[in-house]
Structure 1
Amino acid sequence: MRLKDKVAIVTGSASGIGKAIAHTYATEGAKVVIADLDMNQAEATAKAFRDSGLEAMAVAMDVTNEQQVNTGIDKVIQAYDYIDILVSNAGIQHISPIDELQLADWKRMLAIHLDGAFLTTKACLRYMYQRGKGGSIIYMGSVHSKEASVLKAPYVTAKHGLVGLCKTVAKEGIKHGVRANVICPGFVRTPLVAKQIPEQAKDLGISEEDVVKKVMLKDTIDGEFTTVEDVAQIALLFASFDSNALTGQSLLVSHGWFMQ
């Protein structure tokens, strides 16, 4: 098992991509922490994992609330004594042209994606540094960490920002053996993305089918959505890589959308 006895916190993991990452980690021997805004759903996910013989616990966590983040991380330490892996995955989407975008929606998007990444990173690094056995910080970026799309100004801005945070964490963390990397998926058909399809159809004045074919997947090489399993395998690679050779990087998993 590639993550035997590792303790991994995955934010926003009661469902979607985060849940797939947490499950992959657990099947590879990790003790996974389902950290989510919805405690009931987080506990249901953790229980389902435990019922199938995997090790998991749930913590309530609003990643924009410093006290709640610190309390959640402290609960993990109380349960497991240490933290090896953080996957900063919690996120939302908001569709709006810039000239109609409300400042409150802009701030909310940046708070969840960037403030959340900062607060959870800071809380975990404290324990990783104290323990002195390294660690892996993984950010959930996007192709929008590299590229822009219409109607998504705060999302694109936040996802670009995660790359900068990752590079800084990689440079500061290296003396403690802590690595940092960013996963940059293309469109994954989660409930978050499914919700965008009718929203973009309305804003762009096109059909939902055209949103999928001519907007979301038009720059892929095969017209296919990325899957949660695809993303989870990259998360496993970053978490299990054994040397400092792979740090400060952003890896696209997007069916060829934005090649570099």
Structure 2
Amino acid sequence: MRLKNKVALITGSASGIGKEIAIIYAREGAKVAIADLNLEAAEATAREIDPSGEVAIGIAMDVTEEAQVDAGTAKVIETFGALDILVSNAGIQIVAPLVDYEFKKWKKMLAIHLDGAFLTTRAALRQMYKQGSGSIIYMGSVHSKEASKLKAPYVAAKHGLIGLSKVVAKEGAEHGVRANVICPGFVKTPLVEKQIPEQAKELGISEQEVIDTIMLKETVDGEFTTVADVAEAAVFFASFGSNALTGQSLIVSHGWSME
């Protein structure tokens, strides 16, 4: 097992990509903390992974609230005795033309994606530095590299995660901590499914045209990325055997974006 006896905190993991990562991590031998705004859903996911509660726990966490992040991280450490992996995955999407974008929505998007990444990173690093090891994984996007209409704060935030990861890689190196970013293409989660009718309305096209001409147009095979694809990348980063792999971003997008 690639993650035997490792302890992982995964934000936004009661559903979607985060849940799949938690499931795969547990299968690979890790103990996992399911952190989510919805405590009931987080606990349900934890029970689904491990009814005994020995391998998986659910934690209520609003990643934009400093006290909740610090308390939730402390609970993981108290429960499992360590923190080896942070997957900063929590995120939302609000689409609108930049000229019409409400400032409060802009701030909400940046708070969840960037403030949340900062707060969870800081809390995790305090433990990882004590241990002398750790892996921090940010859930970026192809929008960490590219841009799309209607997604100004999302694109800005996802680009920002690349920069944050590079700083963490440099500062964390002397403490045995590495940091990397996963950049998925469109994954058919509730977050993406919600965007399809929203973008169709804003752009005046059909939902199928949104899928064919916006979401999947630049892929090599017209396929959505899957949660399993992204989870496998998360295992790769978490289980890499040395600190040679740090400060990097890995695109998982069916070729939508290539470097």
| Aligned residue number for residue 101 of structure 2 | 101
Equivalent positions of 1:114-133 (< 5 A) are 114-132=114-132
| Secondary structure of residue in 2 paired with 1:72 | helix
Paired with 1:129 and 1:53, the residues of 2 have a C-alpha distance of 27
| Secondary structure of residue in 1 paired with 2:59 | strand
Checking the alignment, whether the CA contact within 8 Å between 1:2 and 1:240 is kept in structure 2 is yes
Off by >2 Å, runs of 4+ in structure 1: 51-54
Equivalent positions of 1:155-234 (< 5 A) are 155-234=154-233
| Secondary structure of residue in 2 paired with 1:51 | coil
- Deviation, 1:54, is 7.5
| Secondary structure of residue in 1 paired with 2:44 | helix
- Deviation, 1:244, is 1.0
| Secondary structure of residue in 1 paired with 2:136 | strand
- Deviation, 1:52, is 8.7
| Aligned residue number for residue 8 of structure 2 | 8
| Aligned residue number for residue 80 of structure 2 | 80
| Secondary structure of residue in 2 paired with 1:10 | strand
Aligned-pair identity (%): 69
- Are residue 63 (structure 1) and residue 63 (structure 2) matched? yes
Paired with 1:189 and 1:80, the residues of 2 have a C-alpha distance of 32
Paired with 1:80 and 1:230, the residues of 2 have a C-alpha distance of 28
Residue type at the aligned position of 1:173: G
Paired with 1:101 and 1:77, the residues of 2 have a C-alpha distance of 40
Paired with 1:58 and 1:242, the residues of 2 have a C-alpha distance of 28
| Secondary structure of residue in 1 paired with 2:75 | helix
Checking the alignment, whether the CA contact within 8 Å between 1:142 and 1:159 is kept in structure 2 is yes
Checking the alignment, whether the CA contact within 8 Å between 1:85 and 1:137 is kept in structure 2 is yes
Note the residue ranges of structure 2 that are not aligned, 5 or more in a row.
none
| Secondary structure of residue in 2 paired with 1:107 | helix
Deviates more, 1:136-145 or 1:73-82: 73-82
- Deviation, 1:12, is 0.2
Count of residue pairs the alignment pairs up: 259
| Secondary structure of residue in 2 paired with 1:139 | strand
Output one character per residue of 1:124-161: Cα deviation in whole Å (capped at 9) or x when no partner.
000110122x1100000000000000000000000000
Checking the alignment, whether the CA contact within 8 Å between 1:27 and 1:54 is kept in structure 2 is no
| Secondary structure of residue in 1 paired with 2:180 | strand
Checking the alignment, whether the CA contact within 8 Å between 1:26 and 1:54 is kept in structure 2 is no
- Deviation, 1:51, is 3.1
| Aligned residue number for residue 147 of structure 1 | 146
Change (3 A) 1:52 1:27: farther
Note the residue ranges of structure 1 that are not aligned, 5 or more in a row.
none
Checking the alignment, whether the CA contact within 8 Å between 2:36 and 2:61 is kept in structure 1 is yes
Paired with 1:14 and 1:117, the residues of 2 have a C-alpha distance of 17
- Deviation, 1:53, is 9.1
Paired with 1:40 and 1:76, the residues of 2 have a C-alpha distance of 17
Checking the alignment, whether the CA contact within 8 Å between 1:16 and 1:228 is kept in structure 2 is yes
